[in-house]
Structure 1
Amino acid sequence: MAGDRDRFSTATRLKTLGEQAAARVYRARGRRNRLTGRAAMLALVVCSLVIALAYPMRQYISQRAEIADQRRQAQQARDDEKRLREEKARLQDPAYIERLARERLHYVRPGETGFSVAGDAQDDDRISDHSAAANRPWYRNLWDGVDTADASARH
């Protein structure tokens, strides 16, 4: 009888252990589902944050680029202002003005004799072009100048 009781209690113990193992597996399966649900919720929250922050980040980057461009333009304007102030100061100098008048306009001082040297055929062409341009409307001359500048820029 003692053997039957041991066998019965072993069978009972095995049955109990099997039920406990099954219960653990069931609980683990339930936890895994619960963990998967939590992970899905976490993934949803993270995706929502990424989507919510994407537009402001794009705006931030765009505005930083615009600020850099504005700073570059401001520096260029300061450089231009400096150059123009220097030019203005030079134009206040009577000696500089006289030199420009002599070089560009072929002015001479009273008592000096000015000479003009006849140039080559290209100079004659420019003179005839100038007299022809004087008889045309101003806007034709303007567009011809633009076309000439464009043609010289291409070559």
Structure 2
Amino acid sequence: MVPSKPRRSAPKSAPGKATPRRRPKPVIEADAGTDAEARGRRMSVRTGIFLLVVAAVLLAFLSPLNSALKQAQQIAALNNEIETTKAEVKSLEEKNENLRDPAYIKRKAREDQYYVEKGKNAVIVTNQEAVDEESEPERPVRKQAWYLELLESIQETGNTVEKS
């Protein structure tokens, strides 16, 4: 065989020589730790994004919840005010009814303003405790006459001086 054209390159396999095999590039196996770290990072990024979304939702709902709580407290305070005002109104209505009663007015005029009916004399007591018989302090009851007690105490004093 005669070549018709000259070759520019050598034949891939020369006669009598075996063709060298190309070895495939070895597949580098990733370490189990490296793969887990990558997965862990992905999970933490996903978790971080999830937490950010949850935080954004909470922040969106916190201000309305806060205002709702404040309004509930204000409503409770106003309800307390309403109850106290109702109690005051009730006591003022009772007082108004009493002021329409002539006997109540006479009694209050005598007690507070010291008014006296015609033909009666007014006596004002300034020291009420001195007048009350029940309020007198109880005096101690003596076993014997005062002069005998005095004599005994003098004798006891004299005895104590003589002994020392």
Q: Shorter-chain-normalised TM-score: which range?
A: 0.5 to 0.7
Change in CA separation of 1:116 and 1:37 when aligned onto 2, cut-off 3 Å = closer
Does 2:41 correspond to 1:43?
no
Letter in 2 for 1:105: Q
Q: CA offset at residue 43 of structure 1?
A: 1.1
Moved more, 99-108 or 50-59: 50-59
CA distance in 2, matches of 1:104, 1:25: 96
Residue among 96, 103, 123 paired with 1:88: 96
Aligned residue in 1 for 2:111? 103
Which structure has more helix as a fraction of its residues? Answer: 1
Aligned residue in 2 for 1:112? 120
SS of equivalent to 2:120: coil
Aligned residue in 2 for 1:76? 84
Aligned residue in 2 for 1:56? 64
CA distance in 1, matches of 2:80, 2:92: 18
Coordinate RMSD, CA, aligned: 3.2
Q: Unaligned stretches of 5+ in structure 2? A: 1-24, 128-164
SS of equivalent to 1:48: helix
TM-score by length of 1: 0.53
CA distance in 2, matches of 1:69, 1:40: 42
Deviation by residue 1:34-93 (Cα, 9 ceiling, x = unmatched): 433322211110111222222222222222111111111110000111111111111110
CA distance in 2, matches of 1:42, 1:107: 85
CA distance in 2, matches of 1:82, 1:68: 21
SS of equivalent to 2:70: helix
SS of equivalent to 2:78: helix
CA distance in 2, matches of 1:26, 1:115: 108
Size of the alignment, in residue pairs? 104
Letter in 2 for 1:42: F
Q: CA offset at residue 104 of structure 1?
A: 1.3
Q: CA offset at residue 115 of structure 1?
A: 3.1
